[in-house]
Chain A
Amino acid sequence: MSAALAADAVSKRYGEREALRDVSFSAGAGETIAVIGPNGAGKTTLLSILGGVQRPTSGTVSRDPREVGWVPQQAAVYGKLTVEENLRLFARLEKVRDPDEAVARMLDQTGLRDRAGDELGTLSGGNRQRVNIAVGLLAQPDVLLLDEPSSSLDPRQRERLWEFVGGLARAGTTVVFTTHNVQEAERYADRVLVLADGELLFAGSPDDLHAEVGGDQRDFEAAFVRFLHERGH
């Protein structure tokens, strides 16, 4: 299977600090990958390099960032523009073939059609996050990077998000997401990457991770914590 997205020995330094050290992995078309790890592990750094926002200190990424959808951890949308104006602006910048259709599709997907005319600054944090995600989906990219997409969503929205992402994956989109909700990783990811202190400690299915720590843990979260503990984190 030819990789839809591959990282080869990617490293990133911030002065003395090594945020990423020789991280390599590849993802096939339609595969869903969860990147998990403690705070400061380098998850955001990895995704922003895959998305072309930052350049790695060394190493390469296989895919042109313009073909990749990127949803940052912090909402990157304009507070003084309405929901619809934000979506239309980015649809045009992304050179989406039919911006009106894309905006309408995203208003339905986010369930924000009735708030379409409201300025983003007046929306709740979760609703802002919905628009933030929608902007990344506008161009229907082959590869989608989501940095903690579900963190501020209510359970119903979370459900809708994963349903939608699952649909995209089934249609062949490669999805890489980060989360601190490891149950989500277990439930929705084909594979998980465990990052800690910039190092890739594990790459495999959730079941493999269970097996790695003896398989006697009560759930995936416990297995994950155990795994980190065994590796000195």
Chain B
Amino acid sequence: MRFLLEKDLRILRRSPLLVVLLVAYPVLIAVLVGLALSGGPDKPRVAVFSQLPEDSGTVNVAGTTVDPGRYADELYKAVDPIKVRSRAEAERLVRDGEALAAVIVPADLVDRIQSAVSLSGSSKRPTVEVLYNAEDPVKQQYVESTIESRVADLNRAVSEKLTSIATGYLGILLRGGDFSLFGQKFEVLGLQRSKALVDGVAAGEREGSPERQALERVSKFAQLAIDNLDLSDDVLDAVGEPVVVKRTVVEGRRTPLDAFAVAVAVTLSLMLVTVLLAAGMLALEREEHAFARLVRGLVSKTGLVAEKVVLAAVCALAATLLMTAGVSIFVSLDWGRAPLWVVALAFGGLAFGALGVAIGAAAREVRAASLLAILLALPIAFLALVPSGAVASGLYDVIRVVSACFPFRPALDAVDAAINDAGGLGTALLHLALLTVAWGAVARIGLRRFA
């Protein structure tokens, strides 16, 4: 038992590839899981472009002072704000993925809130604009759930305030009191006291006289208003969203989540089939010792690499086309775009195949190659799905560079473009072609070790 244990530890120590995996893999996975669980920084990074004048003033209604600036502070507390000085700058930050979204506060927000609370009948409701980047639906969901819930918080706060102000207003209308507007004080009589006054005057009139009848009609109306305005608190409570949120997508398109999920599923399958096959089949040549026989003039090493890449890509193309067809039973897909699917899957397959042979060249046996292929492929896919803005921007840049070195992200873009008409097919195909050449070269250099 002890000797077996010693023997196995010794074997492990002498397999550098395995040791690297054993050490690097847990670290990598820990980082990824950490990212996934923390969901990035506590507060989403949001660009804020406030057009409010420095001293935007307060709205003073019915004895209550409303400071719109305080509501802006509420929002800033909920997010990690990056204050910017123009709409263009806000858009750029969103486009570059440095900010998850941008909030644009219009200059006339205060005026509009003022007119909303002054009951003067203005229909222009205050509007806050939210800009975001919808590169992919995963991110879109993230933005919608994070930013918009913050804005909803703000809205609720403003809504409560407005309701209480309006209620105060009504109280003055009902019972009378002081009311200041633009620095001037008004004394408001109030409906109840008005009614009492009218009733008093009416009592002095002769019964049945036209004056008394007219005053009684005024008094009845006042009573009706008093009764009904008492109930209006509830009505006002029901007023939602005093501040309107206008959504603007800066970049990207809106692929429905299920259609995007199809693209992710197809790309994942493409990756696993191709990488495993290419890595395994190249390693098999060495495991069977036939490699030496082949490369001494029968086949060039480059030819051998190319053959494995094509083999894996063709097999995976067939498998994933079949899978796509199967999925189309459940999710409606546009079969008219099928030729584009083939193109995207073929390019993706070649790039994954090239990655696979690079793995196959590093490992000596089929089992090691398969293990390595799986261990490498899954985190790459995971990384490629991290939305920009969900993690610190420096880390995101690293993630983006790493993702760009592997075929998953461009393959996903290509497949999504082909299936869902998401755009950017050409760029993704070019990227995949470059990766095919690069990883093919890595594989070729790897094989040189076994000259």
- Residues of A participating in the B interface, judged by any CB pair closer than 8 Å: 48, 51-55, 64-66, 70, 72, 74-79, 90, 93-94, 135
Most chain A Cβ neighbours within 10 Å, of B290, B294, B295, B299: B290
Least distance between B26 CB and chain A CB atoms (Å): 31
Listed A/B pairs (21) with beta-carbon separation below 8 Å: A48-B292, A53-B295, A53-B296, A54-B451, A65-B297, A66-B296, A70-B293, A72-B289, A72-B292, A72-B293, A76-B290, A76-B291, A76-B292, A76-B293, A79-B288, A90-B293, A90-B298, A93-B298, A93-B299, A94-B298, A135-B293
Q: Are A51 and B298 in contact (CB under 8 A)?
A: no
* Contact for A66 among B289, B290, B294, B297, CB less than 8 A: B297
Report B-chain residues with C-beta under 8 Å of the C-beta of A66. 296-297
Report B-chain residues with C-beta under 8 Å of the C-beta of A64. 297
Q: Are A52 and B297 in contact (CB under 8 A)?
A: yes
Least distance between A222 CB and chain B CB atoms (Å): 35
- Residues of B participating in the A interface, judged by any CB pair closer than 8 Å: 288-299, 451
Report B-chain residues with C-beta under 8 Å of the C-beta of A52. 296-297
Q: How far is it, in angstroms, between the C-alpha of A90 and the C-alpha of B288 when the chains are bound?
A: 14
Q: Are B451 and A55 in contact (CB under 8 A)?
A: yes
Q: Are A77 and B288 in contact (CB under 8 A)?
A: yes
Least distance between B300 CB and chain A CB atoms (Å): 12
Report A-chain residues with C-beta under 8 Å of the C-beta of B288. 76-79
* Contact for A65 among B294, B296, B451, CB less than 8 A: B296
Q: Are B297 and A74 in contact (CB under 8 A)?
A: no
Report B-chain residues with C-beta under 8 Å of the C-beta of A70. 293, 296
Least distance between A129 CB and chain B CB atoms (Å): 12
Q: How far is it, in angstroms, between the C-alpha of A78 and the C-alpha of B298 when the chains are bound?
A: 16
Q: How far is it, in angstroms, between the C-alpha of A51 and the C-alpha of B296 when the chains are bound?
A: 7
Report B-chain residues with C-beta under 8 Å of the C-beta of A65. 296-297
Q: Are B290 and A78 in contact (CB under 8 A)?
A: yes
Least distance between B340 CB and chain A CB atoms (Å): 36
Most chain A Cβ neighbours within 10 Å, of B292, B294, B299: B292
Can you name 10 extra interface pairs (CB under 8 A) apart from A66-B296, A70-B293, A94-B298? A52-B297, A53-B293, A55-B451, A66-B297, A72-B292, A76-B288, A76-B290, A76-B291, A78-B290, A135-B293
CB closest chain-A residue, reference B297: A66
Report B-chain residues with C-beta under 8 Å of the C-beta of A55. 451
CB closest chain-B residue, reference A64: B297
Report A-chain residues with C-beta under 8 Å of the C-beta of B289. 72, 74-76
CB closest chain-A residue, reference B299: A93
CB closest chain-B residue, reference A55: B451
Least distance between B375 CB and chain A CB atoms (Å): 26
CB closest chain-B residue, reference A76: B289
Least distance between B296 CB and chain A CB atoms (Å): 4
Report A-chain residues with C-beta under 8 Å of the C-beta of B296. 51-53, 65-66, 70
Least distance between B362 CB and chain A CB atoms (Å): 19
Q: Please provide the 8 A-B residue pairs with the shortest distance between their CB atoms, ordered closest to farther.
A: A66-B297, A76-B289, A52-B296, A93-B298, A76-B293, A53-B292, A76-B290, A74-B289
Q: How far is it, in angstroms, between the C-alpha of A54 and the C-alpha of B449 when the chains are bound?
A: 10
CB closest chain-A residue, reference B285: A78
Q: How far is it, in angstroms, between the C-alpha of A55 and the C-alpha of B301 when the chains are bound?
A: 15
Report B-chain residues with C-beta under 8 Å of the C-beta of A135. 293
Q: How far is it, in angstroms, between the C-alpha of A51 and the C-alpha of B294 when the chains are bound?
A: 12
Q: How far is it, in angstroms, between the C-alpha of A77 and the C-alpha of B297 when the chains are bound?
A: 16
CB closest chain-A residue, reference B287: A79
Most chain A Cβ neighbours within 10 Å, of B293, B294, B295: B293
CB closest chain-B residue, reference A89: B290
